[in-house]
Every structure is written in C-alpha cells, then in structure tokens.
Structure 1
Amino acid sequence: MSQPVNLNKFRKSKARADGTTLAAANAVKFGQTKIEKQTQEAQAKVLANRLEQHKRET
C-alpha cells in the first residue's frame, strides 16, 4: 500500500512556492538597490532643506 498524502500540506507548500516566485518577480520589477534608496533619500533631504530655508517667517 502507498502512504496517505496530506492534501493540506501539499496545498500549503504549493501556495508557498507560488508566493516565492511572485515575490521574486516583484523584486525584479519594483525593487531598488540599497544604493538607489540611499541616493533617493539624500536627494529628498536636500530638497526638504532647500524648501525649509526658503520659507518666510510670519
């Protein structure tokens, strides 16, 4: 006789595998490298400081 198969474990493992492939695809499509994120944050800080310096005191 063959061993019984737990369908819940099979379903969950298949869903987990599908999720990891989707995550990898999204990382390629939407992901940024660490250096790109740091550059973007630095540019945002520069722009925020420039805006703050140009505000008028009332």
Structure 2
Amino acid sequence: MGEIVNLNRARKTRAKAEDKAQAAANRVVHGRTKADKALTALERHRADKLLDGQKRDPKSDD
C-alpha cells in the first residue's frame, strides 16, 4: 500500500508555496526603499527642470 495523503493538507501546502513564490516576485518588483523612491523622484524632477530650461520660447521666433 502507498502512503495515505490528506488532500486538504496537500492543497493548502501547495497554495502556501504558490503564495510565497508570488510574494518573492512582488518583493523584487516593488521592493524599493523610501530613500530609493525619493532619489528617483529628485532625479526625475531635476531632469524635467533641465529640459524645461532648454525649451525655446515660441513667441520669439519672429
């Protein structure tokens, strides 16, 4: 005879393993610290400000 397996326990164990895998994937994608987010926002703001400073005034084309 084979080993007796509790199907509910096997299903729950498999679901927990899938949840852990999903959580690990989410940590990779969304796992940024507040300092990293602030630095990225600051860099984006600086780049936008530099780009706005480089724009030509359409009224002065006369």
Whether TM-score is above 0.5 comes out as yes
- The CA deviation at 1:49 is 0.7
Residues 33, 23 of structure 1: CA spacing in aligned structure 2 closer, same or farther, 3 A cutoff?
farther
Letter in 2 for 1:24: A
Structure 2: which 5+ residue stretches go unaligned? Answer: 1-7
Structure 1 segment 1-58 matched on structure 2, within 5 A: 11=11, 13=12, 14-15=14-15, 17=16, 18-19=18-19, 21-26=20-25, 27=27, 29-30=28-29, 31-58=31-58
Distance in 1 separating the partners of 2:38 and 2:45: 11
**Matched residues, percent identical?**
24
Instruction: Quote the RMSD (CA, aligned, Å).
Output: 2.5
Per-residue CA deviations over 1:1-41 (Å, capped at 9, x if unaligned) read xxxxxx6xx85x553x222x1233120x3321111011101
Distance in 2 separating the partners of 1:49 and 1:38: 16
Poorly superposed stretches of 4+, deviation over 4 Å: none
Give the paired residue count: 49
